[in-house]
């Protein structure tokens, strides 16, 4: 409503908005919406295809057809077949179930843990802050692959070791991000105002301060999902992740490596799917960052 009033004031001075301002604002908003929804579209497509694979006619990812070995992409086999005649597209779809679940779980379980720990440490300060900080330093400084190898050595190869390995390490970055934001937040006057209203500390930390410090963690988490998927792929590649013949994206790429020069599609097309997921999640992350910026930043 106030928008309708202000241009008129300008017109009295002989200035006229030829629509530039409105257009600019609209195009900026449209861009961020486009970014977000493109990302959501990509991810929704991949998730849907993975979950609905059997309904779409892609049934057994492990069915071998030795008459159809290393066939290039065709209508029957959109991504071609591998060295034992398995349909790579089907394997990518079923692999998505493992990889996407792994990516999401290994990102958001540590996120919740790390954010909570970082929030409390940043708000309370004192010895708790020191302890959490040193713990974060230790975890971040420790060579990750060595740690995962150690954990895999305990639990044996497979998803369990990979899950536990990422849980042990993943929280630290979120704790550090959140703690830093919280140090700024706890000096803000509205936190003091919440204290003077007699709210209990947990309420001030988790209800009042937390929504104001979540943004960097949420944006980073989008990149983190991809990183964790790549990590699982790397572990599988090293033979420490899933064991064959379970379809997993990293394992698919690894299998294709030996025939890369003669049958490029075996490694390349699953690799492109990983890239596509990375792009989709990044777009969502950017879109969310824009959106949160718009809702939160205007407060000054």
Residues that bind another protein (CB under 8 A): 125, 188-190, 192-200, 203, 207-208, 211-212, 295-296, 298-300
- Nearer residue to another protein within complex by CB, 18 or 189: 189
- Nearer residue to another protein within complex by CB, 12 or 189: 189
CB of 188 to another protein, least distance (A): 6
> Under a CB-based contact definition with an 8 Å cutoff, are residues 121 and 133 in contact?
yes
Which among 230, 264, 265 has a CA at the least distance from the CA of 249?
A: 230
CB of 114 to another protein, least distance (A): 20
CB of 200 to another protein, least distance (A): 7
CB of 186 to another protein, least distance (A): 10
- Nearer residue to another protein within complex by CB, 20 or 299: 299
- Nearer residue to another protein within complex by CB, 18 or 187: 187
- Nearer residue to another protein within complex by CB, 4 or 298: 298
CB of 218 to another protein, least distance (A): 13
Give the torsion through C-alpha atoms of 224, 230, 233, 235, to 10 deg. -70
- Nearer residue to another protein within complex by CB, 183 or 259: 183
3-class DSSP assignment, residue 260 = coil
CB of 268 to another protein, least distance (A): 45
Contacts of 167 (CB under 8 A, 6+ apart): 106, 109, 110
Q: Give the span between the Cα atoms of 19 and 17, in whole angstroms.
A: 5
Contacts of 88 (CB under 8 A, 6+ apart): 77, 79, 80, 81, 82, 252, 265, 266, 269, 270
Contacts of 122 (CB under 8 A, 6+ apart): 129, 178, 179, 180, 181, 182, 183, 185, 186
């Amino acid at each position: 409503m106030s928008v309708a009033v202000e241009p008129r004031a300008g017109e009295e001075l002989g200035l006229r908005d030829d629509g530039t301002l409105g257009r600019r604002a609209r195009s900026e908003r449209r861009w961020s919406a486009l970014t977000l929804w493109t990302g959501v579209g990509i991810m929704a497509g991949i998730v849907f295809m993975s979950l609905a694979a059997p309904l779409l006619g892609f049934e057994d990812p492990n069915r071998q057809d030795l008459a159809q070995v290393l066939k290039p992409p065709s209508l029957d086999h959109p991504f071609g077949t591998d060295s034992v005649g398995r349909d790579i597209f089907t394997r990518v779809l079923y692999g998505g179930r493992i990889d996407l679940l792994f990516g999401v779980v290994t990102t958001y379980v540590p996120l919740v843990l790390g954010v909570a720990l970082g929030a409390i440490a940043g708000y309370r300060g004192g010895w708790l802050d020191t302890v959490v900080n040193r713990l974060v330093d230790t975890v971040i400084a420790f060579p990750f692959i060595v740690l995962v190898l150690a954990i895999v050595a305990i639990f044996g190869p497979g998803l369990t070791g990979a899950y536990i390995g990422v849980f042990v390490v993943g929280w630290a970055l979120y704790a550090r991000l959140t703690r830093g934001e919280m140090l700024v937040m706890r000096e803000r006057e509205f936190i003091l105002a919440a204290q003077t209203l007699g709210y209990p500390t947990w309420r001030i930390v988790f209800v009042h301060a937390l929504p104001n410090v979540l943004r960097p963690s949420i944006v980073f988490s989008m990149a983190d999902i991809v990183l964790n998927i790549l990590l699982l792929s790397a572990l599988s590649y090293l033979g420490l992740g899933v064991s064959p013949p379970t379809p997993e994206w990293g394992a698919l790429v690894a299998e294709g490596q030996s025939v890369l020069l003669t049958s490029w599609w075996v490694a390349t097309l699953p690799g492109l799917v990983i890239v596509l997921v990375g792009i989709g999640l990044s777009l969502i992350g950017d879109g969310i960052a824009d959106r949160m910026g718009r809702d939160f930043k205007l407060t000054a």
